[in-house]
Structure formats: C-alpha cells, structure tokens
Structure 1
C-alpha cells in the first residue's frame, strides 16, 4: 500500500510516501521537509498564524516534489495519512483539509494519526530497527514522556513532565543566554566550550521514586546563576559557556536517570529515544553507556527524522491504513491535545 504522509503540526511542513510492500526504511520512497525556523526566529518562538499560512503555501508544492521523486502520479497513491494532533489547531487543519480533499478526489482512504506515535515509531525507518516490546523516551519541544510499548497502539504511559518539556527548557535557557531560536542546537554548541566541573545544577525529581519529570526549577536555577554573575560583573563569555554546560549536563543526567529506572521497572532490554531533543549528542552518548551497562540496546532515528517530518507520519499511517483503519468520510480530525495512551490497537 503506497501512502502519502503529511505533517503540519507546528513549524515544519513534511511530506513523504511510504510503501508497505517493502520492509522498514526501504519502504520510504521519497520525503521532503520545509522548515519555518528562520521565519519564526525573529519572534523567538512559533507564531501560530504565520505557521498556518506557510503550511498552506508550501504543502502542495512539496506533495508534487515527493511524487516526482517517487516517480509516481497522484492516481497511484492508495491512501493518505496526516497529523491530526497534538499540535497547533490552525496548522493541523491545513494538513487535514488537504488530505481529505485529495482523498475524496482520488477515492482513496484517509486517516489522521497521532504526531507522537510518529516520533515513537520513527526508528522503524532505520536499518537497525527495534523489535517490540520496548521503552520509549519521547523528548521534544512540547513533550517529555516515558512510554512502555508492547506493539502498534499498545502504549502505557510510565512518566511525563509535570511542567516544561525538556525541549521547552532548552529554548527558554537559550533565550536567557541570548542565544538564537531554536535553542536546543545553540545550547549544545555553546556547552561544548564550557567547563563541566565549574557548576553543578540540580537534577530535578531524581531524589525521589517515580518516572515523572520537572524542568521549571532547573530553568529558574539557571536564570538565578546568570543574574548573580551579571550583578557581580563576572558574566564573561567563558562563564556563559560554563553555565550552559551545567544546564545541559543536568537535563541529560535527569533524562538518563529516568530511562535507567524505566528499564529496571519494566525489565525490558530495548529503549527508543525520539523527538527533537533526541538529536543531542551528549544525551545519545550517555544513554548508550547506560544501556550497555544493563545489557540493553538503544535505538534512535537518524538526525533529520528526530524533528517533525512527513516520513514518520507516512510510516505510521501506512501501518494503520493497511490494518483497515479509516477516517469517517468528510470528518477531518484536528486535536490540539491528544493523550498518546488513548490510541487504539488496529485490527
């Protein structure tokens, strides 16, 4: 089944085509991505109205691009999948209306899929793909969650952030430090020049049992440290880098400690990490060490599939469409808040 996937949940327009007759990443026939980062950077964050307009402008040309790369016509598509949520409602509606319009014109099935399920299963597109069951760490700008995964649609939430997600914490720390948006890559770059021994920031919620996260206190600690040095006249370039390194080390340690606990609690030997923050090099290195100690394996999507993309939506949509799932004709889905554990098992 050849499925067109459309991702328009926030500030990236992603389109891809996946063929279920092939295995894993070999099924990805074409994918394209347009990022709005430069447009939103001057505002220091995503402007929803601008995001929706840009999706409208870019979506159809990207669809034509991936069809050409896959050497296909629209008539050869057998299904369409789109991100139905969570995300910005206006941005979601652009993808949903385009998907439903095309599906009706082509008389093929259409399905809205969960954005975070896309991230969770993005490593299935890699040559080294995980087998079920596994623990998943979903770590992005809007979500930080630990999930036990038994199969497609079989998800149990183990823990999540009670305030800021890790990606939000990176963006807010970057803003405090005067770094560009998006903050994650900028923080990582500056942290490379920082002294890891100068400051030690708290590892929030690691001194108590459980798998929930909290990063708001760490954000406050970072701001307080910056202000103290600013008032003392000691906030030079090296101090900024040292503070950045301490912040990144604290986030990475916290995530790894919770992953370790999740593996111990579930007894599973595989962990998947996905979402924008999963591209962080130090986080990958630390998680690899911890999993190796436990005789476990870690799996990640390639860098370009860590951020929002159409390939993950095409893959998940293809699995569910092939299992017989469909949207009700004429009923588009756009669900800004959509808990992952509410998803059904196909079939």
Structure 2
C-alpha cells in the first residue's frame, strides 16, 4: 500500500490536529461555562491554564506519574478558582478586574516556580491508538487520541444533561439567571458561585496539564499562546451550551492545526498567516456574535450586572 496520500494528507492532518489542539479549549470552555452559568465571569483562566501546566509538569517530574500531575493541576486550578470566587463575593468588586489580576498573577507565579522544570523530562499522558487497523503512519498518527480528550467529550455531554435534569444544574442556572430568585428559594448565591468558579478552575487546570504532559508535551513560558482567553470567546460563541462547546473546541482546534497541515504538504507561502488562524477565527466570531440582537442570546441573566 502506498504511503503517499497526496492532498488527502491535509484533511487527515487537520482532523488529527483538531483532536489534539482542541482539548485545552474544551476543558477551559467547559469550566468557564459552569462559572458563567452561575452568573460570574472569570477572565483569569489563562493564568490558571498556564499554572496548571506548570504544576502538572513539575509534579510528573518529581513523582514519575503523569496522572499525579493531572491531579496537581486540578488542585491548583481549584485554588485559583477559590481565590477568585471569594474575592468577587466582596461588595463592589468587579469580576473582570479580579480575573485579569489573577491571570497576571498566575502567569508570573508559573514562570517563577517553573524555571527549574524547563529542562527535565516528564512522563507523558497515555493515548489510545484508534488507528491500529491501518498500515498508514499518517492515519495512525491522526487517530491517536489522548484519554483527556475522551474525558472532555464525555464531560460535555454530562454537563449538558446535568444543567437540564439535575437539581445541582438547575440551582446553578437559577443563581446565574436571578440572584434574587435564588435567595428567595433559600439558596446561598455566594456559595454556589464560589463552588462554580472552583469547578471552572479545576477544569482549566486539567486543560493545562494536557498542554505540558501531552501536546506539545513540555513546559515552557510560551506554552499557552492565549488559549485560555480564546476559550472564553468560545463560550460566548457556543451560547453557554456544553455540547456546543465541544463542537466549537474542535473548530478552534482545526484552525490551530491548519498551518502545520499545509506545511506538511509543502505549502510554505503565508506561513505565519496560517498559524494565526485561531486568532483570526476568535476575532471573526466575536464580531459575528456581538450584534445587538445576538450578543445576549442565551446568556445567564446575572452576567455583566454590577453587584
């Protein structure tokens, strides 16, 4: 069998790249969906993502276990979420300002604590070879799927169901749509929002663990490239729907894989433009979803309100 797929290499590489690149987008966007459904915005997830990547890599290096690194990243994300949730519960505190401050703090702390771990090698997360049936290395590489991608895909379906059919999901939605109604029903708005922000931080931290322990699979100060911030835009595009977040994450992942895919077949003209595809897509989606009749469609009622 010929090993040369010709132009079919491009869509195959985009599909495989979409699966690899989309996983951090997926975890951060699902985490932000939980947080925003409770009526709180967390723009600090970029810092949580990067700090989670550092914590996961450092823990994996020290313990020899990639899954211990994932657990450490989740705990680190929960800590950042707790800090964000508690501070934002204070009177006259702006969610956006706190998020930006924690983003800068997370980035700086990760760079400072992570310097000793730039050179050491950490054990990677496992992947499942769904392309075992093919002799083509391109197919095998494209269908080598990391376990965390499958976990994220399942989680998107679970969250979609939970928001509609479980008491916890309905409580989060009530708090996000009307704090006064939630208080009248006897729920603690502060507690729900802090827990939702912590849950969002846990998922963002795990997304960071994927970056450092699988793809690209190393720790350095430029590991994120703004994926945490782009994932917040993805949530708006997905209209706070976990299943739509899964599809949108694949779309962003495919855009991120376009440059390497075209380069693999010898297309080198406009090299930097192809690699800018995710950022161009983010800008285009923000413009497309910012019209007066669509900007707030599906948004929780408490988002953007001053408390």
Q: TM-score range by the shorter chain?
A: under 0.3
By percentage of residues, which structure has more strand? 1
Name which one, 1 or 2, has greater alpha-carbon Rg.
1
By percentage of residues, which structure has more helix? 2
TM-score, normalising length: structure 2:
0.28
TM-score, normalising length: structure 1:
0.25
